């Protein structure tokens, strides 16, 4: 039995037109260029939002680490 290929390897290997047109179409498309301009109000909302998001994520990772250490050192 043949083991399954990772999705990225499969997509790059069997892309119908090749890899470069795929990259050009999906990552270098300029269809929506100029449609949105970043302004100070957006930054005033997004910067604190991502700061709080990072703090909460690190707090959650810390809690998972404490649970891991608890079960690692738990004596029955």
Domain map of the chain by residue range? Answer: 1-30, 37-76
Q: Report the alpha-carbon distance of residue 45 to residue 53 in Å, rounded.
A: 12
| Percent composition of the chain: helix, strand, coil (DSSP 3-state, to 5) | 65, 0, 35
Q: Assign 76 a pLDDT band (cuts: 50, 70, 90).
A: low
pLDDT tens digit sequence for 14-53: 667 778 888 888 888 888 888 989 999 999 999 999 999 9
pLDDT tens digit sequence for 59-72: 999 999 999 999 99
- Residues of 47-62 as b/e, b for ≥16 C-beta within 10 angstroms? eeeeeeeeeeeeeeee
């Amino acid at each position: 039995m043949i083991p399954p290929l990772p999705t990225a390897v499969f997509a790059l290997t069997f892309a119908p037109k090749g890899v470069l047109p795929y990259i050009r179409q999906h990552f270098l498309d300029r269809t929506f260029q100029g449609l949105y301009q970043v302004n100070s109000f957006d930054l005033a909302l997004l910067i604190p939002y991502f700061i709080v998001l990072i703090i909460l994520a690190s707090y959650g990772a810390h809690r998972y680490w404490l649970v891991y250490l608890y079960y690692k050192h738990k004596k029955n």
